[in-house]
């Protein structure tokens, strides 16, 4: 028997990720620049994929009409009032980014609660799931590249750097000094936020999962026990799709 396949769409500020999935797993992945999305581009990216139905989360509202045009009523748009298998305990649920809800869904169903998701994107977001599987809020801080690009753009003498591990904490060139600030400073910020969150959650054993572009690199230099899952948001969409089968 042919297993039902679905299209998963995670629209980020820079890139849009597409996944072809069954109810259990993600089979294939593709990407496209978000600003260049159009109905034709959507059809082109998904050419050759067979699926019935699509699930989308988008942090770029103006990108969504292209998907509505292509998929019409087959499109499930993840919002705060979508059936997703977790609750929300938050004053203005409609203000929560749909990608953050997708991450919380994947955390609840694949890793457990209580838990924290760290998503390293243009911004770095922390999303918190209570022990009884309710989304209860989070933290938003500048993304790593936002920080280093801003240094370059707002100062006359500081260059734009390619992020990598610094040779030492004491930078012996301008570039090494920026790398030390980015790597060590950024990890320090992440660690400080995590400590405060775990204290408020009252759980030293919260499940912590990281996702997003710089997750692997940042987490590799930290001592905390953190799982890295680059497909976390897509898995959240897969699970939401399963609730609507």
Task: Give residue 179's pLDDT.
Answer: 92
Q: Which two tokens stand for residue 143?
A: 């993304």
Task: Give residue 223's pLDDT.
Answer: 87
Question: Do 65 and 91 touch, CB atoms closer than 8 A?
Answer: no
The catalytic site residues sit at 99
Place of tokens 């996702």: 211
* CA nearest neighbour of 147 among 97, 190, 104: 190
CA distances from 228 to 22, 34, 119, 155, 212 (A): 22, 24, 10, 34, 9
Beta strands per DSSP E along the chain: 6-11, 15-21, 26-33, 54-58, 75-77, 87-88, 115-120, 123-129, 134-142, 207-212, 227-228
Written as one string, the DSSP assignment of 18-29 is EEEE-SS-EEEE
Q: Which residues contact 155 (CB under 8 A, 6 or more apart)?
A: none
Identify the bridge partners of residue 89 per DSSP, sorted by sequence position.
Answer: none
Place of tokens 């050759």: 48
Count Cβ atoms within 10 A of the Cβ of residue 102 and give its class: 0-12 exposed, 13-18 middle, 19 or more buried.
buried
Question: Do 117 and 209 touch, CB atoms closer than 8 A?
Answer: yes
Grouped pLDDT means (10 residues each) for the chain, 245 residues:
85 95 97 96 97 96 97 96 96 96 97 96 93 96 88 90 91 93 93 94 91 91 92 98 89
Task: Give residue 1's pLDDT.
Answer: 41
């Amino acid at each position: 028997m042919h297993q039902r396949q679905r299209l998963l769409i995670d629209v980020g500020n820079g890139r849009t990720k597409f996944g072809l999935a069954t109810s259990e797993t993600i089979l294939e992945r593709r990407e496209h620049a978000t600003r260049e999305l159009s109905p034709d581009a959507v059809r082109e990216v998904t050419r050759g994929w067979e699926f019935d139905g699509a699930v989308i989360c988008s942090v770029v509202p103006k990108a969504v009409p292209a998907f509505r045009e292509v998929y019409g009523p087959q499109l499930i748009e993840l919002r705060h009032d979508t059936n997703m298998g977790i609750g929300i305990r938050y004053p203005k649920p409609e203000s929560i980014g749909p990608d953050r809800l997708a991450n919380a869904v994947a955390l609840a169903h694949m890793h457990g609660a209580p838990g924290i998701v760290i998503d390293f994107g243009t911004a770095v977001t922390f999303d918190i799931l209570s022990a009884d599987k309710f989304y209860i809020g989070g933290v938003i801080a500048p993304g790593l590249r936002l920080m280093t690009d801003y240094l370059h753009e707002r100062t006359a003498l500081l260059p734009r750097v390619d992020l990598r591990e610094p040779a030492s904490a004491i930078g012996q060139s301008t570039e090494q000094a920026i790398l030390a600030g980015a790597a060590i400073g950024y990890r320090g910020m992440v660690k400080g936020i995590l400590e405060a969150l775990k204290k408020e959650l009252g759980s030293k054993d919260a499940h912590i999962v990281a996702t997003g572009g710089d997750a692997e690199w940042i987490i590799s230099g930290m001592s905390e026990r953190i799982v890295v899952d680059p497909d976390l948001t897509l898995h959240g969409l897969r699970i939401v799709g399963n609730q609507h089968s």
